[in-house]
Chain A
Amino acid sequence: MPYRGYKNGIGGEVMPVRDVLHGSRCVAEAARLCDVQVIAAYPITPQTHIVEDLAELIANGELNAEYIMVESEHSAMSACIGASATGARVFTATSSQGLALMHEVLFIASGMRLPIVMANANRALSAPINIWNDQQDSISERDTGWIQLYVETNQEALDTTVQAYKIAEDKNILLPVMVNLDGFVLTHTIEPVEIPDKEEVEKFLPPYEPQVYLDPSDPMTQGAFADPETYMEFRIEQEKAMKRAFEVIRRVDEEFGELTGRSYGIVEEYNTDDAEVLLVTMGSVAGTIKEVIDSLDEKVGLLKIRVFRPFPKEEVLKALKDAKVVGVLEKDIVIGLGEGALFSEIKASLYPSSYRPKLLGFVGGLGGRDISMDNVREIISICKKAIKEDIDEVHWIGLKE
């Protein structure tokens, strides 16, 4: 899609530009707005448009960045680590098998406290090989020490990527951020989007000032070897930074709201007041659920988890406390546990509290199977049934009998 550039409003006033863009393009535009300095990426469906669009922006001189066309995702993340450790603002994007190939180095990026931002186009993991959307890829990386944000729309993908740099680079955080957008559902779908003005973004996100970096004029060692005497303190520092991240994510989101009029919160509560049935989910399927809720004349609400790491226990409890039934719909399955990871974590969050809603897990949309409005209605009716009777805890949605 051709890039339209920027126009000045009447009287030379800066104005955001409205356009109709793919989710991938939105992510690339965000990287441009943030003036990323080094990109290292490897193409994989359905992330390809992101790396193509970035290459196009660079080729047209609209983005001034070094683009390393690496030979694998492992090297993509490794090069990002090298570049970030040298003090550059870096960006990468991947999906599914590519994210899995990065697994080892994801731990290192967060352990070395490098504010790398990565877009992940959520896609199913092999085998059998499948290129379509679910969230098993990023869910499987939940313990890697990355902040994980999940977006619902293309606009949110753009806005969240911009916010991600401000969160990652905060001096009290210094953690990498993964922005998860559903493959195809968002990456390959066009939606009307407002692109913030670059000057405004520059005010919101000043140039990256690294705290420590590799420079011959002030030499230092990064990535030293920690023995049992020193290792644990590194780990707890990461955990503390994750905890501090809530506050920063909230503040950054508010500042972004002041700038653009759009903010998203740690979680989004939709129609949750007095809701007997509360659905919980992450990503684009929240849009489908909202549509269904709007069409119903019943007390059904939605809790959209936008920040999955750090996990927002408090926000979850606050939203769930009055619900009679909570139905967690997610596109991943922890095989051997028989439920989704989000479901497990919500269940675990409830334990120390006094709230005891009936909790149901719904696994659906794996490998790109559509979650239709009818599926959502079915989920709601199962939830309502659970108010009156004991039923199975976990249900697979859209499964062929």
Chain B
Amino acid sequence: MRPIGGHVKDIGSTKNLKTGGWRTFKPVIDMEKCIDCGSCWIFCPDMSVIRKDGEYSFNYDYCKGCGICANECPTEAIKMVLEEK
């Protein structure tokens, strides 16, 4: 596509930038403690909490490690641990 008008047809294409590289701490979840409240999922500013059938995991390609999920987790099931490079 020629550069015209700042038009972008490839929607959601920011996925080409993997913001996971920005991270210093990464979230890890202990499913034993998880009560499936959905807080981490609903508050994530980077759509990086994966929620499937009551199981939670993280999309480390994009998670910036902000820590909101851990801070909002009512059962402290999520911990932020130093990213090992």
Contacts and interface: CB of A to CB of B under 8 A. Distances in A.
Q: Are A and B subunits of one complex? A: yes
Nearest to A113: B5
A233 interface: yes
B11 A220 contact: yes
B5 A221 contact: no
A113 B5 CA distance: 5
Interface of B is mostly: loop
Nearest to A212: B7
A219 B6 CA distance: 14
Contacts, number: 42
B5 A223 contact: yes
Interface in B13-27: none
Interface in A219-238: 219-226, 230, 233-234, 237
A237 B2 contact: yes
A233 B9 CA distance: 18
A174 interface: yes
Q: How many A residues touch the partner, as a band?
A: 10 to 19
A112 B3 contact: no
Contacts of B4: 113, 174, 234, 237
Contact of A225 (B3, B6, B9, B11): B6
Contacts of A212: 5, 7, 9
Q: How many B residues touch the partner, as a band?
A: under 10
A114 B7 contact: no
Nearest to A241: B4
Contacts of A223: 5-6
B32 to A, nearest CB: 41
B5 A114 contact: yes
B9 A234 contact: no
A233 B3 CA distance: 6
A111 interface: yes
Contacts of A234: 3-6
Contacts of B11: 219-221
Nearest to A112: B5
Contacts of A112: 5-6
Contacts of A114: 5
A357 B84 CA distance: 76
B74 to A, nearest CB: 36
Given A112-B6, A113-B5, 14 more contacts: A111-B5, A111-B6, A114-B5, A174-B4, A212-B7, A212-B9, A220-B11, A221-B7, A222-B8, A223-B6, A224-B6, A233-B3, A234-B4, A234-B5
Interface of B: 2-9, 11
Per CB-CB distance, the 8 closest pairs between chain A and chain B, nearest first, are: A224-B6, A221-B8, A112-B5, A113-B5, A233-B3, A223-B6, A234-B3, A220-B9
14 contacts: A111-B5, A114-B5, A174-B4, A174-B5, A212-B5, A212-B9, A219-B11, A220-B8, A221-B6, A221-B7, A221-B11, A222-B5, A222-B8, A234-B5
